[in-house]
Structure formats: structure tokens, C-alpha cells
Amino acid sequence: MITDTSRTTWRMVGELWWPMLPIIGYVLVVSWVDLAYHLEVYEFPISILGVLGTLIGLLLAFRTNSSYDRWWEARTLWGAIVNDSRTWTRQLVTFTSGREEAADSWSAVRQMSLRQAAWCYALSRNLRGQDPLVGMEGLVNSYELERYRDAQNVPNEILHRQGLELRELKAQGEIELYEFVELERTLMRLTNSMGGCERIKNTPFPALYSRMVHGLIYGFVIFLPFGLVRVPTPGLIFISLALSFGFLLVDHVAIYLQDPFSSRPSDTPTLALSRTIEINIRQMLGETQLPEKIEPINGVLY
């Protein structure tokens, strides 16, 4: 997530340098030819360019809105994960309140609570195509960690393990039936949030739509200087480059937003949220040795 817009803006401008390079060369060549040989006879109707520019603007607006919807849905899902993770720990602690004298019971509650923090780290890294087992040390025991190495979907396997141990708590009489049902509902909401994140990750934005927009932008750039041949050369260069850069910048912003789990600066800060969840869980368990919050790096919170 971007926390310092100035740094990220310059970063995006830098990334647009290569796409703009052929456009700059083309505009400068056309401007030089117009200055030397007067291309008024080849003037392209500016009204047609206006229609084409309007069409490109509408397509970019649709794409940007669609990309933002994906980004906002991802942030909403992780907001629900934060709340449900806190709810899971609170329910475990309060439902077994007064039973702390039973060492086995409290040990199970603590283990299931910390496992929830491990699930958040695993889901975060799994969505970004990283090793989901990184960061789980100290949250689950080594034997359990080895079991997850063979799992195709580590976050799902962790939730499955939570369900099995929840059933054991119910069988041992540590929680009542209605408490068991409420905890199962929390697990169900966590599963739904995980599925929503995986749906966004595994449903890429249509590549054909991107190619079409890029083709229209470059087509617009090709004809734009010929629609401005009656404009003085400095104005022709400035207007052509400004409009081209504006269209490419909006398109680039949409690309940044369309995949909120791709390790880009605009991504949902899933790792920072996972650390916040771990801190909250440890506090609810009464621990005082807490990990440090993850701070932004160069204006970006991951």
C-alpha cells in the first residue's frame, strides 16, 4: 500500500520512460518534417481525433474503475480477516474462561490462536506466489510445520487443522455446543474470505482488453501530430506528448490496481496486516514480548 505518493508517482513516471521513448522519437520526427516541408496538406481532421480520444478515455475509465473494484474488494476481504482473526481468539479465550487451571485446555487455546496468526502469514505469501511456510516459526510447532510442507494449499490445510482441534475441544467438554457453533461460523467466514482472495488472484484481467486499449492509444499517437500541423512546433510537441503521457499514465495506474496481490507498491498490505493480527492475538493471550510492527519501506507498506 502506498503511504508516500510522491515517491511512487516518480517511480511510475520512471516506468513509463520506455513506452514513451518511441512516442517522443516519433513526435520529434513528425515535428521536424512539418517544420521543414509543411505538412498542412496531410492534415488529419481534428474532430475524428477528438472522437478517438473520447473513446480511449471511456475505455480507460472503465478499466480503471474495474481495477479499483478489485483492489477495494481485496482490502475489504483482508479487513474481514483482521476482524475474524481477533474474533476467533477472543471466542477461544472467553469461552474457556475459568478453565485456565487445566493446562491442556489453555495450551490448546494458545496453540489454536497462534495458528490463526500463522494462517494469515501463509495466506499472504501464498497469494503473492511466495513460500507460505516462511514466518510461521514460533507460531506452530516444528512437527506441524513439517506436515504443511506436503500440502497443496497451506492456508486451507491450516483451517482444516483448526476445525479438527475445535472438534476435539467440543468432545472433551471444554466448550459448549453453542460455543462450538459460533467458532465454526468464524472458521466459515475465514474460509469465505480466503476464497474471495483466491478468486481475485486467479482471475486475471482480460489480456485482450489491455491490447485493445494499447493499440488505440498508439493509433491515436500516430495520427495526433497530423491533426496539429497548423499548431506551432513547440505546441505540437507539447500537446502530443502530454496527451500520450496522460493516457499511458492512467493505463499504468489501472495495471497497478488490477492485481492487489502481486508485490507491487499499490498492493493490499497483507504482510503488515498479518503482523498486526499476530500482535493483537499475543496481547489477547496475555503476552508482553510482542513483535515489532512492519513499517513502510520507501513510502510503501507491504
* Reported confidence tier of residue 258, pLDDT bands at 50, 70, 90: confident
Predicted confidence at residue 121, as pLDDT, reads: 94
At 20-50, the pLDDT tens digits run 778 878 788 888 877 777 766 667 777 888 8
Q: What burial letters (b/e) apply to 145-182, b meaning 16+ CB within 10 Å? A: eeebeebebbbbbbbebbeeebeebbeeebbeeebbee
Query: Is the pLDDT score of 102 beyond 90?
Result: no
Say how far apart CA 189 and CA 181 lie, in whole Å.
12
* Reported confidence tier of residue 196, pLDDT bands at 50, 70, 90: very high
pLDDT greater at residue 130 or residue 7:
130
* Reported confidence tier of residue 8, pLDDT bands at 50, 70, 90: low
Q: Give me the mean pLDDT over the 133-155 stretch.
A: 88
Say how far apart CA 117 and CA 94 lie, in whole Å.
18
Query: Is the pLDDT score of 13 beyond 80?
Result: no
Predicted confidence at residue 6, as pLDDT, reads: 53
Query: Is the pLDDT score of 103 beyond 70?
Result: no
In this prediction the pTM is 0.84
Query: Is the pLDDT score of 83 beyond 80?
Result: yes
Question: Mean pLDDT for the chain?
Answer: 84
Q: Give me the mean pLDDT over the 229-238 stretch.
A: 82
Non-local (6+) Cβ contacts of 186 within 8 A are 84, 87, 88, 91
Q: Give me the mean pLDDT over the 132-138 stretch.
A: 86
**Cell 480511449, residue located:** 56
Q: Give me the mean pLDDT over the 206-231 stretch.
A: 83
Say how far apart CA 21 and CA 182 lie, in whole Å.
59
Predicted confidence at residue 293, as pLDDT, reads: 86
Cα–Cα distances in angstroms (integers) from residue 10 to residues 7, 55, 119, 201, 241, in the given order: 5, 28, 35, 27, 17
Say how far apart CA 153 and CA 231 lie, in whole Å.
60
